[in-house]
Structure 1
Amino acid sequence: MADPATYRPAPGTIPTSPGVYRFRDADGRVVYVGKAKNLRQRLSNYFQDISALHDRTRRMVTTAASVEWTVVGTEVEALTLEYTWIKEYDPRFNVKFRDDKSYPFLAITMGERFPRVHVTRRPRAKGDRTFGPYAQVWAIRETVDLMLRVFPVRTCTPGVFRRAERSGRPCLLGFIGKCSAPCTGEISEQDHRRLAEQFADFMAGNTATYTRRIEQRMREAAAAMDYETAASLRDDLQALTAVMEKNSVVLSDATDADLVSIVQDELEASVQVFHVRGGRIRGQRGWTAELLDESTPSDLMERALTQLYTDGEAPREVLVSELPSNEDQVRQLLGRGADLRVPRRGEKKELLGTVTANAQEALRLGRLRRTGDLTARSKALEDLGEALELAEPPLRIECFDISHSQGTNVVGSMVVFEDGLPRKSEYRRYSVSGEAARDDTSSMYDVIRRRLQRHLNPPEQSEEDARRFAYPPSLILVDGGAPQVAAAQRAFDDLGVSDVALAGIAKRLEEIWLPGEEHPLILPRTSEALFLVQRLRDEAHRFAISYHRSKRGRAQNQSALDGIPGLGPARRRALLDRFVTVRAIREAEPEQLREVDGIGPALAAQILAALRSEEPGPAVDMSTGEILEP
């Protein structure tokens, strides 16, 4: 535990400008990020008598070992930079907003040649039009199914689309009229894009235009006694009406607003957001936050709005339960067109009350979950520390596994758990070759040695990678028994690492093996520590297997194309990007192969001749592409 006086900067060296500051611990890891209108004034507050500081602030300054700052031009720049760094470094003492669940979005990939509609939980890709988030995935899938009747945009994956292109036959949705089948040329690229834009326009709330248009066409068809067309248009109108009814009308049709409410107790805060577009609730989302500093409701609202709108556009109205601190800067972040206020009366105040009630319920449920999860995780870490005779519970654990297929395509995996939870952003994969791939113990030695070398002597790399690998684990687990642990211990000894604990877990009897011990450690079957170690081992095994399979698949595809004259690495990659598998290349026509960059008539014939015969491919006249007679 550091004394803040040991790293306190001289007051005269701290600027009085706006800026963002970072506290780092002894390992160089950022533990807190903050912003200030006046850096000198703000930082001096952290270096007063620690007995006068709040408990959470006191823990932060005694955990830190250094402080640094970056000067910016305005307070708005400081607000944006603080948010960016909190996302990048994930500091343990900052308020961390986390979704209480993963929400589905409806995305339209306008950046693709033929846009497609799909439901996703991933971050928005460049060029996509997204709608949501939605509370229930089944509801948005049902909405899409109804919408496709009127706007038959493609919904298939790129792989399905390419297969339909090659075969010249559309999928089932194309046959039943819920896809316009751009894969087979049934609709032009421009007309299909127009359909996608109309789909997005309807989802954005411009519904009246399309319902009026369909009603008019339906009347015209009925007047012309084209009753079949009139009936089809009637069904289309009913489908659009059903979509609109799925979103409850809560405000006037012209209302585009986000309603944000925050409720907190001493330990946590809950944020709920309702997205209203065209007077209808189009989506809902929620966050929970651990309060690790002295944030007020206004501070929390500032951070919530920053997270919502730094990477996204604000609607015309942002209605909040509490005005944010630094209100002027937040208004600049939202843009001139956004009206930020607390509703005082009427239907908007009533709807915000509903949002607040949802936040209170989420806080109550989060408190129950947090109590159970935190108790179990803490117990697991304490039990594991006691079983391995560690000085303190292992807050960061790294687990390693080796995967191969009869000694080929050998790979290693590293998974990371912090505070008993997986940190997937810090997982790593290792490719093992040469003498290191001789057997499991050699591979384990190689992987552990490379991990420890990178920690002791980090090479030239990005700041992000250096930061992750520089942070030492409390415990390294290896998947295996005494031989694997002995191999890992050799890597520790060769590099002189003695401040990290080492253990192995054997699959058969779930035994814990320690270096140099003749007999394993047996944890009780109901032990929380055993459950945690099993989760680590299973996650490392899953991660290694997935990497091994992808590497083996690529190797098999590449090997089938090796040795074909004129087909170098770049052209092999281009072929596999276009056709995915060697089988698809073998079944393609020469004209399809020639669509790939760098593949001409002669080379296309050479490739097909080599792949379609088990014998060596026949000779080909490279000037004409004709197969020569033997």
Structure 2
Amino acid sequence: MAEALSYRPRAGEIPTEPGVYRFRDGQSRVLYVGKAKNLRARLSNYFAPLPSLHERTRRMVTTATSVEWTVVANEFEALQLEFTWIKEFNPPFNVQFRDDKTYPYLAVTLGDEVPRVLVTRNRKITDARYFGPYTKVWAIRETLDLMLKAFPMRSCSDGVYKRAQQTGRPCLLGDIGRCAAPCVGRVSVEQHRGIADDFVAFMAGNDTRYIAELEIEMRAAAEKQDYETAARLRDSMQALQTVLEKTAIVLSDAVDADVFGIADDELAAAVQQFIVRGGRIRGVRSWVVDKELDVSEGDLVETVLHNAYEDDAAPPREVLVPVLPDDSAELELWLTARRQDVEGSSKGRVTLKTAQRGDKAALAQTVSNNAKNALILYKTRRSSDFVARSQALTDLQEALGMPEAPLRMECYDVSHLSGTNIVASMVVFEDGLPRKDQYRRFSIPESTDDTDSIYQVLRRRLAYLAPSVGDDPEPVGQDGQAASELDITQTGTPKKFAYPPNLLLVDGGQPQVEAAQRALVDSGVTGIQLAGIAKRLEEIWLPDSEYPVILPRNSEALFVVQRIRDEAHRFAITYQRAKRKRDIASVLSEIPGVGESRVKELLKHFGSVAKLRTAEPAQIQEVRGVGPALAQTIHDRLRAP
């Protein structure tokens, strides 16, 4: 199969300098863009023997018909060129961003003679200072309304401003004190610019200084018995305090940082960005990316940062990420250049780092948890889309060569702890959605390995689909439910466990599929499509097939298969943990003097079975209701071989 890559260049033709490479297909479409410190070393990885390649890398190089490269002076230039080409060509095998919406910003048009503050999604206003992004328009408008009480700068459109100049009458905002009304000369243009500069400084993080100054001015006005001015200053101070209360205080006032959290699986990654300015969370941004090739977390971080700062967004002085990419030094140079381009200053180097301890680490964990929740929400919403589910089942039918769509799918997974407490799970999806009332759990008394466990479980399950239904005496089903209870009612109507699936999936590769195939043959059941899904590479293995079926990385079909596999894994793990807990509880309950309440106290005190097993008698005696003699008995019983 290596001969299929006829476009492979000779090793001596590829330079060893840094550079950027592009794979193209027969129509000259760019399939993938990558960078390398050493082009020859990197490209040689793509032209390794095909069976040794990652499945999706193999699909990319076999789809391509040519490769080209551009040599640059250093890794920093390679990074810049890679970003430029990814943005220009949008290659299908690079990470695909699904965030097609724009976020609202608070902008101050400092380039205007009379600066204006506005809420906008346009990031290309000349000489404007941006704050955000914000996730909700109403939140930013509420903040602006409070800010105008303290900093009454212009917020009206150019048309309204010119009309006020011509008529000599200010708009409503000028009448109610939310605008200093430079349009009618209540303040000079220079005075208004000073208000705008204070507005920008406050939003940039210098907030506590303004509140302190307002308080001093308020007290001074009160001492002079200028109560009208004191009341106005009091209202301004309260408005600013309300703004600060709406932004969480998480770090010291001097901290300006963007904190990124990433949660990913084999198919997608959810990104959360917390924008911290002046120690407070000023904005939150989230988006989802589709992963085509199996990229490392460091490469994913690099792509996320490119997406976050490519559109005139200025990086702060500090960027916190989950892991540092291999070329973090070059990435820092690129971020610094972006900051200088946007801010128009040569000062302010950007530092890229991971949070190790303290408040920053706690915030980074919060951002990571938000990313995990966002990934779960994304997958849940995706699975609830009826059109997407229908397309997924159709695509799965075509990919596996099935005569009809797999309207009912069953997936099996085996779980154990070092060969003990072996259990298996069966989960059911109908029309692409889980049917939890039809889930089943299996206990496996003895097994040689996972393939043997798969064979045993499927023999027990398929017994209910064979002509001699109910002959198998083994109990099967949830919580040891008897076979007769799961088979056929007296009226002849088949119960849920007797419904045959269109597609039977096992968690694993070729060995597990072969074991499942033996179970199908030995049971005499026909008409069921069998397949296995391998965890790491997301390959679909069919019986008697030398190569797996590779579904498109961002396809709905692969998403459904992955989801049912993950559900089977979760259900098996839950049952296995419950069995382990019951095992230790049963051992303790056999000890004279240890009842159900003392078992609960022991497990509650130590928190885990492992800690209880390693505890000394003196430590066990600390549990309420356990004396010295009983503590020694518990210790000896748990340590007994």
Asked if the contact 1:100–1:286 (Cα under 8 Å) also holds between the matched residues in 2, the reply is no
Displacement of 1:381 after TM fit?
A: 13
Displacement of 1:113 after TM fit?
A: 2.3
**Who is 2:412 aligned against?**
none
Amino acid at match of 2:133: P
Is 163-172 or 353-362 further displaced after alignment?
A: 163-172
Q: Would the alpha carbon gap of residues 186 and 59 (structure 1) be closer, same or farther in structure 2, given more than 3 Å must change?
A: farther
**Who is 2:315 aligned against?**
314
Q: Distance in 2 between matches of 1:108 and 1:14?
A: 50
Map 1:94-173 → 2, pairs under 5 A: 94-99=94-99, 102-173=102-173
Is 156-165 or 142-151 further displaced after alignment?
A: 156-165
Q: Distance in 1 between matches of 2:179 and 2:120?
A: 19
**Who is 1:376 aligned against?**
388
Q: Distance in 1 between matches of 2:187 and 2:61?
A: 64
Q: Distance in 1 between matches of 2:66 and 2:367?
A: 41
Displacement of 1:78 after TM fit?
A: 0.8
Q: Would the alpha carbon gap of residues 298 and 168 (structure 1) be closer, same or farther in structure 2, given more than 3 Å must change?
A: same
Q: Distance in 1 between matches of 2:126 and 2:167?
A: 30
Asked if the contact 1:302–1:325 (Cα under 8 Å) also holds between the matched residues in 2, the reply is no
Map 1:181-580 → 2, pairs under 5 A: 181-309=181-309, 311-335=312-336, 337-372=349-384, 376=388, 379=391
Amino acid at match of 2:364: L
Q: Would the alpha carbon gap of residues 184 and 7 (structure 1) be closer, same or farther in structure 2, given more than 3 Å must change?
A: farther
Asked if the contact 1:95–1:290 (Cα under 8 Å) also holds between the matched residues in 2, the reply is yes
Displacement of 1:372 after TM fit?
A: 4.6
Q: Distance in 2 between matches of 1:373 and 1:194?
A: 52
Asked if the contact 2:263–2:269 (Cα under 8 Å) also holds between the matched residues in 1, the reply is yes
Displacement of 1:361 after TM fit?
A: 0.4
Q: Distance in 2 between matches of 1:132 and 1:287?
A: 15
Asked if the contact 2:19–2:37 (Cα under 8 Å) also holds between the matched residues in 1, the reply is yes
Q: Distance in 2 between matches of 1:120 and 1:35?
A: 35
Q: Would the alpha carbon gap of residues 346 and 182 (structure 1) be closer, same or farther in structure 2, given more than 3 Å must change?
A: same
Displacement of 1:116 after TM fit?
A: 1.1
Q: Distance in 1 between matches of 2:382 and 2:83?
A: 25
Q: Does the residue aligned with 2:5 lie in a helix, a strand or coil?
A: helix
Is 175-184 or 247-256 further displaced after alignment?
A: 175-184
Q: Distance in 1 between matches of 2:298 and 2:330?
A: 13
Q: Distance in 2 between matches of 1:124 and 1:173?
A: 27
Q: Distance in 2 between matches of 1:269 and 1:4?
A: 33
Q: Does the residue aligned with 1:99 lie in a helix, a strand or coil?
A: coil
- Identity among equivalent pairs (%): 56
**Who is 1:74 aligned against?**
74
Displacement of 1:37 after TM fit?
A: 0.9
Amino acid at match of 1:355: V
Q: Would the alpha carbon gap of residues 357 and 380 (structure 1) be closer, same or farther in structure 2, given more than 3 Å must change?
A: closer
Asked if the contact 1:301–1:325 (Cα under 8 Å) also holds between the matched residues in 2, the reply is no
Q: Distance in 2 between matches of 1:376 and 1:147?
A: 45
Asked if the contact 1:253–1:279 (Cα under 8 Å) also holds between the matched residues in 2, the reply is yes
Q: Does the residue aligned with 2:367 lie in a helix, a strand or coil?
A: helix
Q: Distance in 2 between matches of 1:22 and 1:110?
A: 42
Q: Does the residue aligned with 1:123 lie in a helix, a strand or coil?
A: coil
Asked if the contact 1:264–1:270 (Cα under 8 Å) also holds between the matched residues in 2, the reply is yes
Q: Distance in 2 between matches of 1:34 and 1:298?
A: 14
Q: Distance in 1 between matches of 2:390 and 2:116?
A: 46
Max Rg structure: 2
Displacement of 1:252 after TM fit?
A: 2.0
Displacement of 1:44 after TM fit?
A: 2.5
Q: Does the residue aligned with 2:17 lie in a helix, a strand or coil?
A: coil
Amino acid at match of 2:324: L
Q: Does the residue aligned with 1:249 lie in a helix, a strand or coil?
A: coil
Asked if the contact 1:219–1:230 (Cα under 8 Å) also holds between the matched residues in 2, the reply is yes
Q: Does the residue aligned with 1:325 lie in a helix, a strand or coil?
A: coil
Q: Does the residue aligned with 1:6 lie in a helix, a strand or coil?
A: coil
Asked if the contact 1:267–1:291 (Cα under 8 Å) also holds between the matched residues in 2, the reply is yes
Q: Distance in 2 between matches of 1:211 and 1:194?
A: 17
RMSD: 2.8
Q: Distance in 2 between matches of 1:263 and 1:207?
A: 33
**Who is 1:44 aligned against?**
44
Asked if the contact 2:383–2:389 (Cα under 8 Å) also holds between the matched residues in 1, the reply is no
Instruction: Output one character per residue of 1:291-320: Cα deviation in whole Å (capped at 9) or x when no partner.
Output: 111211111112222333455443333222
* 4+ long deviations beyond 6 Å: 380-383
Q: Distance in 2 between matches of 1:18 and 1:3?
A: 28
Q: Distance in 1 between matches of 2:18 and 2:381?
A: 39
Instruction: Output one character per residue of 1:497-529: Cα deviation in whole Å (capped at 9) or x when no partner.
Output: xxxxxxxxxxxxxxxxxxxxxxxxxxxxxxxxx
Displacement of 1:262 after TM fit?
A: 1.4
Amino acid at match of 1:345: R
Q: Distance in 2 between matches of 1:22 and 1:158?
A: 47
Displacement of 1:98 after TM fit?
A: 3.8
Displacement of 1:117 after TM fit?
A: 0.9
Structure 1, unaligned stretches of length 5 or more?
Answer: 387-630
Q: Would the alpha carbon gap of residues 23 and 182 (structure 1) be closer, same or farther in structure 2, given more than 3 Å must change?
A: farther
Amino acid at match of 2:15: P
Amino acid at match of 1:356: S
Asked if the contact 1:3–1:62 (Cα under 8 Å) also holds between the matched residues in 2, the reply is no
Displacement of 1:77 after TM fit?
A: 1.1
Instruction: Output one character per residue of 1:354-393: Cα deviation in whole Å (capped at 9) or x when no partner.
Output: 111100001111122334559529839989xx9xxxxxxx
Displacement of 1:68 after TM fit?
A: 2.1
Q: Would the alpha carbon gap of residues 365 and 7 (structure 1) be closer, same or farther in structure 2, given more than 3 Å must change?
A: same
Amino acid at match of 2:359: E
Q: Distance in 2 between matches of 1:312 and 1:196?
A: 21
Amino acid at match of 1:250: V
Instruction: Output one character per residue of 1:560-598: Cα deviation in whole Å (capped at 9) or x when no partner.
Output: xxxxxxxxxxxxxxxxxxxxxxxxxxxxxxxxxxxxxxx
Amino acid at match of 1:350: A
Displacement of 1:203 after TM fit?
A: 0.4
Asked if the contact 2:22–2:69 (Cα under 8 Å) also holds between the matched residues in 1, the reply is yes
Q: Would the alpha carbon gap of residues 374 and 190 (structure 1) be closer, same or farther in structure 2, given more than 3 Å must change?
A: farther
Displacement of 1:241 after TM fit?
A: 0.9
**TM-score, length-scaled by structure 1:** 0.57
Asked if the contact 1:4–1:61 (Cα under 8 Å) also holds between the matched residues in 2, the reply is no
Amino acid at match of 2:365: G
Q: Does the residue aligned with 1:288 lie in a helix, a strand or coil?
A: strand
Amino acid at match of 2:354: V
Aligned length: 384
**Who is 2:54 aligned against?**
54
Structure 2, unaligned stretches of length 5 or more?
Answer: 337-347, 399-641
**Who is 2:83 aligned against?**
83
Q: Distance in 1 between matches of 2:83 and 2:164?
A: 45
Displacement of 1:146 after TM fit?
A: 0.9
Q: Distance in 2 between matches of 1:208 and 1:222?
A: 21
Displacement of 1:148 after TM fit?
A: 0.8
Asked if the contact 1:261–1:322 (Cα under 8 Å) also holds between the matched residues in 2, the reply is no
